[in-house]
Amino acid sequence: MLEIPRTLLGNPTNPPRILVAGVGNAGISLIDRLALAGFADAVDLVAINTDSLSLSSSVAGRKVLIGSKTARGLGSGGDVEIGAGSAEEAEADLNAALEGAGIVILCAGLGGGVGGGATPIIAELARNQGAVVIALTTLPFGFEGRRRVQQAAEAREQIARHSDATLVFENDRMAELSEPLAGVHETFSAADTVLAETVATLARLVMIPGPIRITPADLLAVFRHADTASHFGYGEASGSNRANEAVERALKAPLMGRGKSLHDARATLVHITASPDVHLAEIRAIMENVARHTDGQLHLGIGLDVNRPSSLAVAILSSTGAAIPVAAVPRTTRPAPVRQPRPAPMEQPAAEPAHDIVEHEPEEVTADSTPAPQKASELFDTSRYAVAKGPGTQGAKKQPKSEQKTLSLDPVARGRFEKSEPTIIGGEDLDVPTFLRQKIKLR
């Protein structure tokens, strides 16, 4: 009998090495969560910050302290200039840390000084090394003031310019993940979990072999554009009805808005991870269910995981919004960085305390990586998530584009069907009056 060289389960090509970098406090708390979830073995986790305290409490395998001169081992104070300056200063260290990665996932909160300031520069460095750069970012809360939101928008634009794909999650939406009266800590932890699941999914997409692979190109097709909001849903189920249950769960995930967010999704990526005995019928059921919610382009990926005896997981990633193509800076704007031969690898930032991970493991693991001396005046740890203190000093060379958003229909428009199961066909919520959806003018 003929032996087919590439079996379904086989892993013919080496998957590209994935490096997940947490930039700034928000990013680091996210990669810490990944490390705790056992992802440290599968991907390289790198913590990057100006704050040596926050770095020392991180459980990431590698740590890069940036801006030892600019920020003197302290935080950026929400100042993007300091963030950017620090990253430029530590270019060599960063380059060494990023070396060899095929895919770099940058996690950052855009409201922060480091997250907003350093991330674009790190993205550029990684790209110049030839890696595919995916930025996973959070936008500040709306109530943090227009200034910060604007600063985040600028940072987002900068990052989009230097990365291949951008996933943007809004903190305002994240807040909906938990009860309105839930503790702040709980809310953030729920948000982190969702983001960590997203990163885990991105990693799985590339790492787990299967008959239909998602290539970085597929990812880029979905997330290529800058001015988007991203949606993520994840569901897992086992048993004989696992396909339907898993996809239902994924669609009902909070960030999916019960499947409504898919409505105006330009492109949607569906990744199914299952045991090798998955049926085609199950995959069809999943895809049909997703297709019911969207008219956009669908990308399908299937990963077969032998370690997953009977369960099936569905991850849905999509992005919406005006498709403004990133004015991509050609990859080689600067000469490829001349790599100075370095005696020692870079994890050891010149300045600060020895970062022996093992040493920190026991206590800090549970401490949720909150940098110890928190400014007590803050209602919550804003630096972690979003906030930039002080005015954004970013040069105002780009006015945020004022664009006409499509009228978003408030839930009131569903009237008496408010609480009933929505009738969604072709991604349209048909309970909303037709004349509103078709924008028929009444006199």
Partner 1 sequence: MPKDRLLVGLEIGTFKVCAVVGEARADGSLRILGVGESKSVGIRKGEIVDFNSAIQCVRDAIADAEEKADAEIESVWAAVTGAHIQSFNNRGVTLIPEDRAEIDPEDIRDVEASAKEVNIPDQNWFIHTITQHYYVDNQEGVVNPIGMVGHKLEADFHIVHGVKTRIQNTLRCIKEAGVEVEEVVINAVASAQVVLDQNQKDLGAIVLDVGGGTTDYLVYIDGAVQHSGVLAIGGDHITNDISIGLRIPIARAERLKIEEGSADPNEAQPGDTIILKNDSGFSGCEIERANLNRIIYARVRELLELVKKDIEGHCDIDLARAGVMLTGGCCRLRGFDRVAEAVFDHPVQSVAAQEVAGPTSVFQNPQYATAIGVVKYAQLMQVDPEPTSILGAVGRKLGSIFRFRAGA
Q: In what order do the strands lie in the sheet with 312-320?
A: 229-237, 312-320, 265-274, 297-304
Under the binding rule (CB under 8 A), the answer on residue 276 touching partner 1 is: no
Q: Give me the least distance between CB of 334 and partner 1, in Å please.
A: 54
Residue 256: count other Cβ atoms within 10 Å of its Cβ: 22
Q: Give me the least distance between CB of 102 and partner 1, in Å please.
A: 38
* CA angle 290–193–26, rounded 5-degree value: 120
Among 41-49, 110-118, 132-140, 240-248, which window interacts with partner 1 (CB under 8 A)? 240-248
Going by C-alpha positions, the residue among 194, 128, 129 that lies closest to residue 167 is 194
Among 131-139, 216-224, 331-339, 429-437, which window interacts with partner 1 (CB under 8 A)? 429-437
Question: Which residues partner with 62 through β-bridges?
Answer: 46
Going by C-alpha positions, the residue among 306, 326, 302 that lies closest to residue 315 is 302
Under the binding rule (CB under 8 A), the answer on residue 436 touching partner 1 is: yes
Under the binding rule (CB under 8 A), the answer on residue 440 touching partner 1 is: yes
Q: Give me the least distance between CB of 241 and partner 1, in Å please.
A: 4
Quick one: 122 or 247, whose CB is closer to partner 1? 247
Q: Which amino acid is at 192?
A: D
Going by C-alpha positions, the residue among 390, 200, 236 that lies closest to residue 314 is 236
Under the binding rule (CB under 8 A), the answer on residue 423 touching partner 1 is: yes
Contact with partner 1 (CB under 8 A) among 240, 307, 377, 406: 240
Quick one: 333 or 423, whose CB is closer to partner 1? 423
Contact (Cβ atoms closer than 8 angstroms) between residue 61 and residue 40: yes
Tokens representing 127 are: 């790209």
Instruction: Write phi, then psi, for 439 (nearest 5 degrees).
Output: 55, 45
Who contacts 418 (Cβ-Cβ below 8 Å, separation ≥6)? 411, 412
Under the binding rule (CB under 8 A), the answer on residue 407 touching partner 1 is: no
Residues 198-237: x where in contact with partner 1 by CB under 8 A, - otherwise, as a string: ----------------------------------------
Residues 280-319: x where in contact with partner 1 by CB under 8 A, - otherwise, as a string: -x---x----------------------------------
Which single residue is written with the structure tokens 């996809």? Answer: 247
Give the N- to C-terminal CA distance of the chain in Å, as an integer. 75
Who contacts 339 (Cβ-Cβ below 8 Å, separation ≥6)? 95, 96, 99
Under the binding rule (CB under 8 A), the answer on residue 244 touching partner 1 is: yes
Under the binding rule (CB under 8 A), the answer on residue 279 touching partner 1 is: yes
Counting residues that bind partner 1 (by CB under 8 A) gives: 27
Quick one: 331 or 414, whose CB is closer to partner 1? 414
Return residues touching partner 1 (CB under 8 A): 239-241, 244, 279, 281, 285, 412-417, 420-421, 423, 425, 430-431, 433-436, 438, 440, 442-443
